[in-house]
Amino acid sequence: MRTILITGATDGLGRELARRLVAAGDLVIVHGRDPERVDRVRERAGGRTEGIVADLAELRQVERMAAEVLDRFDRLDVLVNNAGVGGGKPFSGRAESADGIELRLAVNYLAGYHLTRRLAPLLVSSAPARVVNVASVGQQAIDFDDPMLTKGYGRMRAYAQSKLAQIMFTFDLAEELSGKGVTVNALHPATFMNTSMVREALVPPISSVGQGAAATLRLIDGLDGVTGRYFDQDRESRANAQAYDLEARKRLRDLSDDLIRRTLA
């Protein structure tokens, strides 16, 4: 029986993944911001579940969550970084996290970056293990002169930048963990799934959550030994060119580590 942590498991894709993995006999750690919603998902999923509550828009809560996982669980076979903030309501403006970081970069990327790095030793000790980053086909290069998008802000630009950052981290971590029994991959699960995130943006859904779950489960259950790849649903694909720029990835690492260090100091 595997132990699988899914962030953002109280709605949409994360909730469907939790349901399917519990039904398959896995122990699923259900993460969410709202303890009542976490409990509701666990009750409806049945089987073996554990709950963990943290708001990923605050790095101190991400740090506390990582410490709690390390304290409560002696193994972690799969980490699915699924939690995220979508494009938001039409005409909505720029927002920041509790730490003063552009919100989508903070939640969609930086929280998963810090959580994964903190949990990497547990993943290695549990090998063979996997990290699956739920990204998007919507990607835009990061402007390192203004990564917080204080000028020329656009909600979809912010979302696309954060999703590319996830993929850049995926490639870096796959190289770092090469030979240690942990695979790291990213995917675009499906286009405009029927989720609250998509409905909030007033975008007509064109895919089901089930389609996205099937593509994500393929990375959780199959493709043994495959690492450092980006998939568009079930097809290996090529990400935005910046994801293959080693200097850009170093700049993103440096930026991320600096933001975390200053926030948690």
**Per annotation, catalytic residue among 109, 113, 153, 159:** 159
State how far Cα 38 lies from the chain centre.
Answer: 17
Across the chain, mean pLDDT equals 94
pLDDT value of position 92:
72
| Tokens describing residue 227 | 């690492």
Taking the C-alpha atoms of residue 47 and residue 96, their distance in angstroms, rounded to an integer, is: 37
Known catalytic membership, residue 113: no
Q: Report the pLDDT averaged over residues 3-17.
A: 97
Beta-carbon-side half-sphere exposure of residue 113 (alpha carbons within 13 Å): 29
For the chain, first and last CA: distance in Å? 38
Would you say 109 and 36 are in contact if contact means Cβ atoms under 8 Å apart?
Answer: no
Question: Angle 111-125/155-176 helices, nearest 10 degrees?
Answer: 20
3-12, 68-77, 199-208, 255-264: which has the minimum mean pLDDT?
A: 199-208
Q: What are the tens digits of pLDDT across the range 56-99? A: 999 999 999 999 999 999 999 999 999 998 766 776 789 999 99
Place of tokens 């740090």: 63
126 pLDDT higher than 70: yes
